[in-house]
Copies of this chain bind each other. A is one copy, B any other.
Amino acid sequence: MFGARFLARALRSCSSAPCPGHRPPARLSVRDALGAQSTSGERVKVQGWIRSVRSQKEVLFLHINDGSSLESLQVVADSSFDNRELAFGSSVEVQGQLVKSPSKKQNMELKAEKIEVVGNCDATDNGFVHIHTPIITSNDCEGAGELFQVEPSSKIKMPEENFFNVPAFLTVSGQLHLEVMSGAFTQVFTFGPTFRAENSQSRRHLAEFYMVEAEISFVESLQDLMQVMEGLFKTATMMVLSNCPEDVELCHKFIAPGQKERLEHMLKNNFLIISYTEAVEILKQSSQNFTFTPEWGVDLHTEHEKYLVKHCGNIPVFVINYPLALKPFYMRDNEDGPQHTVAAVDLLVPGVGELFGGSLREERYHFLEQRLARSGLTETYQWYLDLRRFGSVPHGGFGMGFERYLQCILGIDNIKDVIPFPRFTHSCIL
């Protein structure tokens, strides 16, 4: 049954092109292939990642990039090479003849005689279900930060008569709604606008911004969460680089020179992990003069976050296990001491500081009950507590600020430059 397939494969790797005997083909970088002057008909080998695929009736075009050049190498192949695995982001090794390109777009192109997929790039959803969490909500989530309240414009002066019977706010996070849904779909995510009524005109804050948030049931350690976070950052970035290389290169070339190398440095290294306690020690031992003195039990400021990333060689770094007193009621108690912490995690990245925030959630009924009672929130969050009464599971999740992510990969300094209609204090144009 499989005979035809193996025969076809054999034929592919030895097509009608002249066969140059047994000498192994010379390995060329994309840069060298593009700059080649002679076309002696010798076979060469190029390795890299697929940046675009154009599949026509008789011919298959691939663009391959290996980071040696901003430009990609065009590979021209017989359509019998076409294969589902030749997709954006897959890594390949192509052997063939380097020839003058008939197109003016490039000098040389590679006529493929053999294409081998080294690593697949299967862009699946990893089993996450997309949930539309609501914008208008009656819960004020963390009880922290300034909220926007919502009323019909005709009623704005009589807020005692609420349209929804209760005060209603613009969401600051879809987390609690995702926790509800993760109790049915196991792995869920949302991607939508969130809101903060903070009086800030900084380069890091917007009143309306986008978040990717994920919630995962049956997660028992921060390690599991961090793996998903690092995977999301790296996969999304690879996809962006594959799908719109020109746009990214425009930013890297004209707005943020050197950003391409900084980004590659982030992608090729494993992200680091330090505890909040270690982070505070590092900051204390630093010779830098911080505006805010670092101290255990106090939140990290942006200046601290940026210092920590630099200290870690400009590799993104996870900071874990924050003081319980600093974090909201739903984060899981580490039951440690004497410095009492929760299983929280932030990811700090070069240039931006905090990009992700996440935690294991307190899934234990009695722990959560006590935390709510201590915060005076028992009545408001009765429904949330009930989630721990019926089929509770260990779970956790995180959120990533989408505009900050764009700042990080594009190297753009002001958050207002990565969103088409920025909203902030004193400004809501159009």
Contacts and interface: CB of A to CB of B under 8 A. Distances in A.
Given A1-B15, A8-B80, A426 B153 contact: no
B135 A425 contact: no
A69 to B, nearest CB: 27
A3 B8 CA distance: 11
A423 interface: yes
Nearest to A87: B84
Interface stretch (A23-31, A191-199, A258-266): A191-199
A57 to B, nearest CB: 10
A192 B190 CA distance: 12
Interface string A126-160: 00000111111111000000111111111011010
A79 B133 CA distance: 40
A180 interface: yes
A2 B423 contact: no
Contact of A420 (B131, B426, B427): B131
Interface string A1-25: 1111101100110011100000000
B4 A17 contact: no
Task: Give this chain's copy count.
Answer: 2
A208 interface: yes
16 contacts: A1-B16, A3-B16, A5-B80, A134-B193, A134-B208, A136-B208, A138-B428, A148-B153, A149-B150, A149-B152, A151-B156, A153-B197, A156-B156, A157-B159, A165-B428, A192-B192
Nearest to A4: B11
Nearest to A11: B4
Interface in A201-253: 207-208, 210
Interface stretch (A169-177, A274-282, A289-297): A169-177
Given A156-B156, A421-B133, A17 B5 contact: no
Given A133-B421, A153-B167, A157-B159, 7 more contacts: A1-B78, A4-B80, A156-B156, A163-B425, A164-B425, A176-B430, A177-B420
A281 B5 CA distance: 65
Interface of A: 1-5, 7-8, 11-12, 15-17, 55, 58, 78-80, 82-84, 131-139, 146-154, 156-157, 159, 163-170, 176-177, 180-181, 192-193, 195, 197, 207-208, 210, 383, 419-421, 423, 425-430
Contacts of A15: 1, 3-4
A296 to B, nearest CB: 31
Q: Which 10 A-B pairs have the closest CB atoms?
A: A5-B80, A152-B197, A164-B428, A8-B8, A4-B11, A149-B153, A134-B421, A138-B428, A147-B153, A149-B156
A210 B132 CA distance: 9
A336 to B, nearest CB: 32
Given A4-B11, A8-B8, A149-B156, A423 B136 contact: yes
B181 A420 contact: yes
Contacts of A426: 164-165
A149 B151 contact: yes
A80 B17 contact: no
A148 B138 contact: no
A181 to B, nearest CB: 7
B195 A5 contact: no
